[in-house]
Chains A and B, each alone.
Chain A
């Protein structure tokens, strides 16, 4: 099955700095890579995603990059704000035999943005 590694587990930055979270995946068949933001006690919320036919995608202050050859993808947050503080999960999704697509999550990165 798919295995997703995520680093770092904790990331502490000053407000206005950039933050980068990196993930690697093992299954070359994975073709969809969502990123979720989870605030304490709340549900994971999809913030951005990238598909395997694209190398980079940007949405305002967040961007994702994908290197299919190396099987790694990254989340970049610029001009961080205190409200960006949360746990961020990367995931890799591949076609499953039963007709559904199963996201496999990384272990999460706790991002702390200091005012």
Chain B
């Protein structure tokens, strides 16, 4: 069965650079969530989209922005990267009206 696809899987950036992470939800899933997971930490909710509109916002820094496109894929844009942004970034998707969230394999971002 198709799963949530994230790209790239690994990304190395320098401080103050920008990064774009992509998420392709499971077909027919119209809700996307972004989570940040630091080493040894639980996933922290950043932002979510439902039917291409931002639905909820968590602890997402102002330097980050995200959107969901007409094909339901989502992109997380991260600017002025800091060393502390190094983490695993997970995208999850769910069908509208459902509480079940399925996670992608994550993007490991390393800021040097």
Using a CB–CB cutoff of 8 Å, the interface residues on chain A facing chain B are: 31-32, 34, 36, 41-46, 49, 51, 89, 93, 96-108
Contact = CB atoms under 8 A, between A and B. Distances in A.
Contacts of B31: 99-101
Chain B interface mostly helix, strand, loop or mixed? strand
Contacts of B98: 101
B103 interface: yes
Contact of A43 (B45, B54, B104): B104
B56 A45 contact: no
B95 to A, nearest CB: 11
Interface residues on chain B, size class? 20 to 34
Contacts of A96: 48, 55-56
B8 interface: no
Contacts of A34: 99-101
Interface in B27-60: 31, 33, 41-45, 48-51, 53-56, 58
